[in-house]
Amino acid sequence: MTSPGAEPDPLPSRRDARMRVTRRGRIVGAAALAIVLVVAVVAVLVLLQPQPAPPAATPEPTASAPSATPTPTATPTPTPEPEETFDMTRNSIDDPGSFWVVVDKLRPLEPRDYAAPDLVDVPVPYVYAPKLRKKAADAVVAMFAAYERETGLRMQSQSAYRAYATQVTTYNGWVSQLGQKGADLTSARPGYSEHQTGLAIDISALPANCALQACFADTPQGTWLAENAWKWGFILRYPEGKTSVTGYEFEPWHYRYVGKALAAEMREQGVETMEEFFDLPAAADYAG
């Protein structure tokens, strides 16, 4: 028990100071440990992160071996294709029913009184009502229409199909006017006439101008026909300067249907008569 007036005991103060020092040491140690732990965790995280792969080494270029130059091969010369030739045997030149039949003073129709088949009226302007075989008639109609459409002018049929009996009358009429020699230059004897085939037509201007005369060649109709009739399958059968071949004087009005193929081929070759095209004897006169 402390007596009044006695000095205070210094021991409690020293104990408190030691306790405070001890607590601060613990706090400092805990903080240091926490820092160490944080640093350790950070280090582990850094070590666990994936490291970038080192860049691939660029291979050094190596010299490539020079490529071998190919040996050029000779280009083969193309073989030219043979040109298509016109088939001259496609149709008969002897059969009176053929579109290519050649009728002249050495080649009469057989039989002489042959009558053309499939005759039809030809719906074009005319002097004497025309009949022709169907294909020839259709071609005439188309040709006349083309001429009128292109020029504004007109043509007409002067004469077309003539039967054997009609040709007898026609020929005898020329003989009575010109004599037989003169008639043979102008008109065919019965059985020798192209008109009997149903494939020939005499054409004149409308209105008539130089009808059945050589001057028809100089009319607009005659000029146009000479230049264009082949497009519809017609040829000028008795051209100028070919009397020694055909046996007839120049008849710029007489057109013969042979079909587009033959008409075009004759024009292409520049051959004017059927006798020359088919290499037939000239028919300047009758055999007897």
pLDDT confidence of residue 10? 46
pLDDT confidence of residue 12? 47
Give the pLDDT of the chain (288 residues) as one tens digit per residue.
Answer: 444 444 444 444 555 545 554 566 566 565 666 665 655 555 555 555 555 554 454 545 454 555 556 666 666 666 666 567 899 999 999 999 999 999 999 999 999 999 999 999 999 999 999 999 999 999 999 999 999 999 999 999 999 999 999 999 999 999 999 999 999 988 999 999 999 999 999 999 999 999 999 999 999 999 999 999 999 999 999 999 999 999 999 999 999 999 999 999 999 999 999 999 999 999 999 997
Q: What angle do CA 139, 140, 142 make, to 5 degrees?
A: 65
d(CA 249, CA 38): 133
Indicate if the alpha-carbon torsion angle 267, 196, 173, 159 is positive or negative: negative
Neighbours of 7 (CB within 10 A): 6
Q: Where are the beta strands (DSSP E) in 39-130?
A: 119-121
Per-residue model confidence as pLDDT tens digits over 229-271: 999 999 999 999 999 999 999 999 999 999 999 999 999 999 9
pLDDT confidence of residue 288? 76
Instruction: Please list the active-site residues.
Output: 251
Residue corresponding to tokens 């409690």: 12
Per-residue model confidence as pLDDT tens digits over 131-150: 999 999 999 999 999 999 99
Helix 220-228 × helix 134-151 angle, to 10°: 120
State pTM to two decimals: 0.72
